[in-house]
Amino acid sequence: MKTLILNVDRDDDLGRKAKVKTPIIGVKDNINAANKLGLADPEDSDLNAIFSAISTYNSLTSDKEKDIEVATICGHINVGLKSDGILAEQLERVIEETGAQDIILITDGAEDEYILPIIQSRIKVTSIKRVSVKQSKELEDTYYRILKILDDEKVQKQFLLPIALVLIVWAFFVLLNIASSGFGAILLTLGAYLLIRVFRWERSISYMFEEMKSGLLTGKLSIYTSIIAAVILIASIFLAYNTANFNSDVEFIPILSFASNMIWGIVIAGLLVILGRVIDLYVKDKRTPWNYWIVPFSLFAFGFISSAIFNSLHKALLNWPNSFSITPFLTLSFIGNTSTGIMIGIVGAITYHYIKDIYVAESSELEIERQTT
């Protein structure tokens, strides 16, 4: 019966720090991996776990009746579903290559032992050995080790990142002389961070930034217009907030004023995003961006109609709850803006369907010509 001495590194310190590919099978390869990790980070606890696995292997090979093999498997820095899936896949490969029938598990902490049920579902576990590193109890040594822990990439992402976000948001609001709103902004920031962590959107956000970086390097105009649009949108939010009278006795007034002042900022930001996308499609991708035709018309229609409604509501509710005036909705300004918005929307819808029919007809003709040739 073959016994496998298995070392588990759930958060992939070997891959991240020593650039070692796993699974690692055999004493020689494990020693080489340990040496690389030792050169990269001599104080990593996974280093002790590898040497403990090798030491256990040496002590058991003295019994010539036993068939022993040693291996190391690693997961991913995002400990959880992804990490455990990688570990399960590597475990099956190791079992298949070694032909092991039971396992002695070597870990350097409770986190790695979370994979125990996954291992037990595939093979019998006869023993578990947890490696503990001897540490000094002196204050200086404790302080040094805390600094080393904080230097770890995983700890930085989980603990230091939210603290950094809180400090940046608070400082930003203090510089704008609106420190009273800083606490609310901090709660919003932490709430958004926790939401991203709970739904595991880190990869999507990371992919978005990678796409943005790639776009900047390859010269995509849509990346630049999107950044400018985001700046305009943020500036519009602060401008609308400062313009709104939040000390008004009527609670609807500040909200209506804020919304009214935000409308054209949203329209301009949307137009910039669409402009960049259309130019990229036409120039770089050599495609006709006909399906974006209706978007500018929709944005302008939204701007005229929304501004007319919010401005009129603002005037109508000035004496609320004593009275509600319908007069602002009968003025030439309201009728003119809403009519303009409706007409722009109608023109956009009609021309969009006209252009779509032309594009579909041309595409059909090209397809027929391609098939005949």
User: Distance between CA 295 and CA 345 in Å, rounded?
Assistant: 10
Q: What is the pLDDT of residues 4-45, one digit of tens each?
A: 999 988 888 888 888 888 899 999 999 999 999 889 888 777
Which residues is 98 bridged to in the sheet? none
Q: What is the pLDDT of residue 47?
A: 86
Q: What is the pLDDT of residues 118-148, one digit of tens each?
A: 888 888 989 888 876 655 445 445 654 665 6
Specify the 3-state DSSP secondary structure of 126.
Answer: strand
Q: What is the pLDDT of residue 71?
A: 93
Q: What is the pLDDT of residue 107?
A: 82
pTM of the model: 0.43
332, pLDDT greater than 60 = yes
Q: What is the pLDDT of residues 265-302, one digit of tens each?
A: 899 989 988 888 888 777 765 666 777 888 889 999 99
Q: Please list the helix, strand and coil fractions of the chain in percent, rounded to the nearest 5, in that order.
A: 70, 10, 20
Q: What is the pLDDT of residue 235?
A: 84
Which of 47-56, 150-159, 264-273 is the least confident region? 150-159
- As a whole number, mean pLDDT of residues 254-262 equals 80
Q: What is the pLDDT of residue 368?
A: 65
According to DSSP H, which parts of 41-160 are helical?
45-60, 81-98, 116-120, 139-150, 153-155
| Cα of 172 vs its chain's centroid, Å | 23
Q: Per the structure block, which two tokens stand in for 29?
A: 């390869």
Greater pLDDT, 119 or 368: 119
